[in-house]
Structure 1
Amino acid sequence: MNNMTPATSETSAALDAALVGFVGRTLLPRTRAQDPVNLPMIRHWVEAMGDTNPIHTDEGAALATGRSGLVAPATMAQAWTMRGYAAHRRRIAGDLPADSEEQRLTTLLASVGYTAIVATDSEFEFVRELVVGDHLSVEEVIESISAEKVTALGTGRFLRTVRTYTNQDGEVVARQRWTTLRFRPKVREPELAPRPRPALNEDNAWWFDAAREHRLLVQRCADCGTLRHPPGPCCPHCQSFTWDTVEASGRGTVYSYTVAHHPRHPAFDYPLLIGVIALEEGTRLIANILVDAAGAEPDAVGDYVHVDAPVALEWLDLDDELTLPAFRVVTEEKH
């Protein structure tokens, strides 16, 4: 099914035609490497790659194989002609000659949202070994540009080029078919990180167990009847160690609240309201106050909550192991 509008279809057809025109063009004119093939760089490479073949670093071993001297690892062909970090950063930033094919192509792709790039494939053909002293050049030609494809990274097109590597005498030493995906990045909603875990012990684990069952329990002294929260082993009023619980109705009022500004934690939605809730049973607890104002400025929170505002319990099932109580202001419409 073609679900594109006519205008989108026309735009896509024009883009296809423009991209076809790039096939066969030189993306990178012949460019000489900054340095010739040299032993210090070979040493760095083989150490990083774990390549122990002595023909790369031991001239005697290389001569014993019938070679004229040390040879570079074949896969270093691309490394000799890399632009360097500063030039690479300029290229990413689009600081290219305005009349270059690469700039024209980059501008065209960016005009339809293909602003991201990732390498997807590299195929090498090695014609001859590189010896110390060779000075390479590289030229890159566009071989093909695919139709629009939908990928896990986003919608885009595969650009395939052929890089031809030659030495100081103009002899071809290697060819590389290089494929990149130029794509429109997907817009992903940020995922919340897991909530920080409570510090569980013998005195409070029962409270979190009840919360997972959506029961808001309040600890009560079995001797004097005083309610207490957070849970503890001893009654602060009569010092008794015996206790039971009552189940709260979930109704109460805002005793006080604060808006957390900084530092932001990826496990929480913002604006982040933390309230002291006075339960109608006669005790208080600290919990999040929920507002229908995602992304609102903290200064505007007063439009949603105030001291003495009536609140009702809601449960936050954060994951399989953690459920926490939260409260939402009860508006007149909900009465």
Structure 2
Amino acid sequence: MAEQDWMTEVRAMVGREYGRVYAWDEVNAPMIRQWCEIMGVENPLYTDAAFAATTEYGAIVAPPAMLQAWCLEGLHPNNYPPGSTTENPYEVLRLMEGQGYQSVVAVNSDLTFERYVKVGEKLYYTTRLDAVGEQKTTALGTGYFVTLIMSFFSEKPGGNEKVGELLFRVFKFRPANAQPGADAPKTEAAPAAPKIKRPKPGVSDDTRFFWEGAAAGKLLIQRCKCCGTLRHPPGPVCTKCHSFEWDTVESAGKGSIYSFVVMHYPEVPPFDYPNPVGLIELDEGVRLIAGLVGVKRNEIAIGQRVQVEFQSFDDGELTLPLFRPVAP
């Protein structure tokens, strides 16, 4: 099928609304408490009923960032409550996969909120295919940006009320280093594809010290000059005393794995997969996200001791602090 033909079909889908996906449970205090515990949120408005009763809300409310969690399917994929739509809001991605755009990477996800949701409310969301961009070529490959918008509502006897919105954008692409299939026509040897480099971090006046320290083999942590509080990620102001004065302290680079994920898909060059990434709690008391090296997936454990090591990539253009497990 010619590209203009299948893209006409894709663009005809823009604006389509997909039916409701319901939450399994009403907004409830135990789930709020567990979410706050896992995320390290200590605002008493979310967990202390006595305190919440003294506020303008009169009772416990759910953290706004928790909005999407209420309507997730749970452990098993597509296990939604009875009454939820059986439509597939990602059908446009399946159509693009059929034309060779089989890789996907999340670009951005933006949550907006109309108000707090309260204990006892029952939520659902609907999905709209908002946009399919023009063809773009990036370091990952050639493809299209696809934007979906999920609108969240609270069921009300007098009319359902919108409480928030989630914009989710992905890049659906043909990898730049994709290999032709076995049945592809034989052609003359094409010039070698350029080597894909690791994406470089965004460097600002607030973070420059960290990356310059890494290049010198030092793990530097920002420190407030007034109260001595360490903070990471770096920022312009102390979150404790609000001072703008800061310096740095060199970490010993020792810590433990507070949490971790293992990335399997999508496979984005030039990273190796499976790709383990850890949330490291340094002995100095701050946490940072970094790659894990020298360990297999089934060997990673929460609380495991790790030590920083610095590795250079792309002929020395980029130096990253990575963490390797060490013997107890």
TM-score normalised by L of structure 2: 0.48
Q: Larger radius of gyration, structure 1 or 2?
A: 1
TM-score normalised by L of structure 1: 0.47
